[in-house]
């Protein structure tokens, strides 16, 4: 059987576990990673189908991080899902979504429901 891989990064251990459980329930392998910088290091070895960033970061930080990811060999492959921080303004969210390819900002209040939707297409 061909398994698909997802990285879950950021947030606290409890938050990552809840997100990971949803991913595993959808028949994906899941690796939990503490920080988004550690995701870049992991992607130098293996590229997952999806990366879920379950943490608060500014749009500038996310754009820089996605730039590092996309510059890796096969770094254009993963779909990146980002939990929208409550502090984001609508204009910042829209800017982040337009400025990078395959970055989806999920609403904080409906994050896990929207995550399930994206997992259907993986």
- Model pLDDT, residue 78: 93
- Model pLDDT, residue 56: 73
- Which residues is 33 bridged to in the sheet? 9
Cα gap 52→62, rounded to integer Å? 12
In percent, how much of the chain has pLDDT > 90?
41
- Model pLDDT, residue 20: 94
Q: In a 3-state reduction of DSSP, which class is residue 46?
A: coil
Number of domains in the chain: 1
In-domain check, residue 113: no
In-domain check, residue 42: yes
Largest Cα separation within the chain, whole Å, is 43
In-domain check, residue 66: yes
In-domain check, residue 3: no
Structural domain boundaries enclosing 16: 10-75
- Model pLDDT, residue 101: 63
Please provide the average confidence, as pLDDT, over all residues in the chain.
82
Cα gap 36→32, rounded to integer Å? 11
In-domain check, residue 43: yes
pLDDT over 80 (residue 95): no
Q: What is the pLDDT of residues 17-42, one digit of tens each?
A: 999 999 999 999 999 999 999 999 99
Count CA atoms within 13 Å of residue 25 on its CB side: 10
Rounded to 10 deg, the angle between the 90-99 and 59-71 helix axes is 10
Average pLDDT of the segment spanning 57-76: 88
Q: In a 3-state reduction of DSSP, which class is residue 29?
A: strand
Nearest CA to 117 among 75, 66, 79, 78? 79
In-domain check, residue 115: no
In-domain check, residue 32: yes
Least confidently predicted of 45-59, 65-79, 96-110? 96-110
């Amino acid at each position: 059987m061909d398994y698909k891989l997802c990285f879950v990064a950021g947030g606290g251990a409890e938050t990552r576990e809840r997100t990971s459980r949803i991913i595993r329930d959808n028949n994906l392998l899941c690796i939990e990673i503490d920080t988004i910088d550690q995701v870049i290091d992991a992607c130098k070895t293996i590229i997952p189908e999806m990366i879920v960033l379950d943490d608060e970061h500014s749009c500038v930080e996310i754009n820089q991080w996605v730039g590092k990811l996309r510059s890796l060999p096969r770094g254009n492959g993963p779909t990146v899902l980002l939990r929208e921080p409550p502090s984001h303004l609508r204009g910042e969210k829209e800017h982040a979504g337009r400025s990078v390819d395959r970055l989806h900002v999920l609403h904080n209040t409906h994050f896990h429901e929207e995550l399930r939707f994206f997992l259907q297409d993986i």
